Structure 1
Amino acid sequence: MSQETVNYLVNLLIGVILAGVLSQYWRLEASGQSLRLWIIAAWTLAAADLFFVARSMLPPDTLPRLIPTITVTCGHALLLLAAQQTAQRPQQRRVICLIVASHLLLLLLLRAVPAMQGWRAPTNSVVWGSLSLAAALVLWRAADHVRPLMRFPAMVMAFQAFFHATRSLLATQAAVDANPVRSAAVQMLGDVEVSLFMVALFVGVLVAYLRQSNDDLRRALANVQQLSSMLPLCAWCNKVRDDDGYWRRIEEYLSEHKVSVTHSMCESCATKHFDEFKP
């Protein structure tokens, strides 16, 4: 078994563990939150490692060898969609699908021209780095209540974009010089980076959602404690005095504290106000 295959197997194990942990948390605790796309992206990147392991058993320069590469592109595209959803930004699905399709066509073109085989690594790094940079910028420009939580994942994606920019330069130099030793070094650097990126990103995402759940529980507890205490209620108009000293309708006060209010009529009031309309 080659060292490259061993690296892919390690990446696959890490990816499956991270995707499984995210899936379990989503199933038990956060089914109503926007974690689904992050989980799909995690499983997609884990599937890419599985395809890379299988690719080592295929003959060189066969069409199925493109599947792992385009699967990584799909994983990065899903990460961008997840970032847009988390940041409460419009999802540019058509643009992202166009990027994935363009990358696939470019890979097919490079495969059809043997003299350009060495340019696949720079091309991949440019596409993956651009998607990571876009996701990082989206998270940095997220809504105010989301931005502090997703700051670390945004930093991870920004570092990922910087790494791919550096790797693209090195891969371009290796393609120009036709240096197999340098090409192997670039490939090994990318294999190691995959593990670090997946661990940092998805652990950061999970911590962000755990913090969000903790904040929600604290706010709910504060609301319960406030509602369980005595409320200053006007004896004539039934308005409530809030913490700022303003008198407000009780429905507005309860609604702000996440208590749903609906109106009905008791039997006494129905008799008092509508008894005259009975036949």
Structure 2
Amino acid sequence: MDRETIIYLTNIIICAIIAVLMTDAWRRGEHRGSLLYWMIAAWVMLVADILFASRPILPGAVDRILPTLLVTVGQAILLVGARIHAEMTVPRRLTAILVMVHAVALVAFYFADSDSVWRRVVNGIIWATLAFLSYRALRNSAPVFWRSYTAPATVFAAHAVFHLFRISFASFPAAQGNGSLAVAVDIMGDLEVSFFMVALFVGLLISNLQQRNEQLSQALAEVKTLSGLLPICAWCKKVRDDDGYWQQVDEYFRTRSEIRFSHGMCADCADDFKKDTAEI
């Protein structure tokens, strides 16, 4: 079993575990919009790795086009999930154009020169662009998704930088002529897939849990605010807040909870009102 096959099999095991974890998180979680797309992306990446590992037995066109294109599809789905999570518009047209352009380029390289160095350059440009757009989207979401070095946004940024490095390497013939260096870069590229998948999806799961924990903590704080003794005037029924100011009951609850009052008249007050108007 050669080095490349071992790396692909390792990636398959890692992607399978991640896909199952993302599926379970989607089933249990409340943020079904973004988690749904991230779960689908994990399964797409798993299929891509299976096809990469099966290259020796696949037809030439499938071998050189489909696995690489599935990576692009997976990253496009990751971008859609990031935009949904950040409550931004989904760039359906942009992602569709990027996938179609990549598909056309891969077909062209297959018939012209499947081993062309420009094939790697095109792959890197497409993947770096999608990773950077995902990074920009998560920068507009909750801080837990971008403020730490292990946050998903940081992983996307590192992924984009790595592909830019590979583009630069592929653009210099002198670097390509160094056989040992080229092999080292290829190994780094294969290993980066595993690092990217683990760091990204684990980061997404942890960030979702942290965000959920912050939401629960905020809800608990609001419940505590509305618990305990509440001073209320026995005559006008105003309540006193923590600063010592007296407020109407509806105003007090409006500023401290999601409660909204709709004013009406109870039956007793309606009878009293009728009596008062009748006397007038």
Give the alignment's TM-score, normalised by structure 1.
Answer: 0.84
Structure 2: tracts of 5 or more residues without a match: none
Question: How far does residue 46 in structure 1 lie from its aligned partner after superposition?
Answer: 1.9
Supply the distance in 1 between the matched residues of 2:125 and 2:188 (Cα, whole angstroms): 16
Residue 24 (structure 1) aligns with: 24
For the residue of structure 2 that corresponds to 1:233, the secondary structure is coil
| RMSD of aligned alpha carbons | 2.9
Distance in 1 (alpha carbons) for counterparts of 2:2 and 2:64: 17
Range with bigger deviation, 2-11 or 156-165: 2-11
Count of matched residue pairs: 273
CA distance in 2 between partners of 1:175 and 1:84 (Å)? 40
Q: Which residue of 1 aligns with 2:191?
A: 192
Which 5+ residue runs of structure 1 have no aligned equivalent?
none
Contact 2:33 2:81 in 1 (8 A): no
Matches within 5 A, 1:126-205: 126-140=125-139, 142-143=140-141, 146-151=142-147, 152-173=151-172, 177=176, 183-205=182-204
Q: Once structures 1 and 2 are overlaid, which stretch shifts more, 233-242 or 223-232? A: 233-242
In terms of mean alpha carbon deviation, does 50-59 or 104-113 score higher? 50-59
| Structure of greater Rg | 2
Would the aligned equivalents of 1:111 and 1:117 in 2 still touch at CA under 8 Å?
no
Q: Which residue is equivalent to 1:39?
A: 39
Identity percentage of aligned residues: 39
Deviations 1:23-72 (A, max 9, x none): 2123224355642222222222222212212223224x324531111111
Check 1:244–1:177 CA distance in 2 against 1; reply closer, same or farther (3 A cut): same
Matched residue SS, 2:226: helix
Corresponding residue number in structure 1 for 2:85: 86
**Normalization by structure 2: what TM-score?**
0.83
1:141-178 deviations in whole A, cap 9, x for unaligned? Answer: x15xx134433211111111111111112223359956
Change (3 A) 1:163 1:274: farther
Q: Output the amino acid matched with 2:28.
A: L
Q: Distance in 2 between matches of 1:199 and 1:162?
A: 17
Displacement of 1:272:
4.5
1:187-230 C-alpha deviation (Å, 9 max, x unpaired): 32211001111111111111111111111121222222222211
Contact 1:79/1:135, CA 8 A, preserved across alignment:
yes
Q: Secondary structure at the match of 1:136?
A: helix
Q: Which residue identity does 2:203 align to in structure 1?
A: G
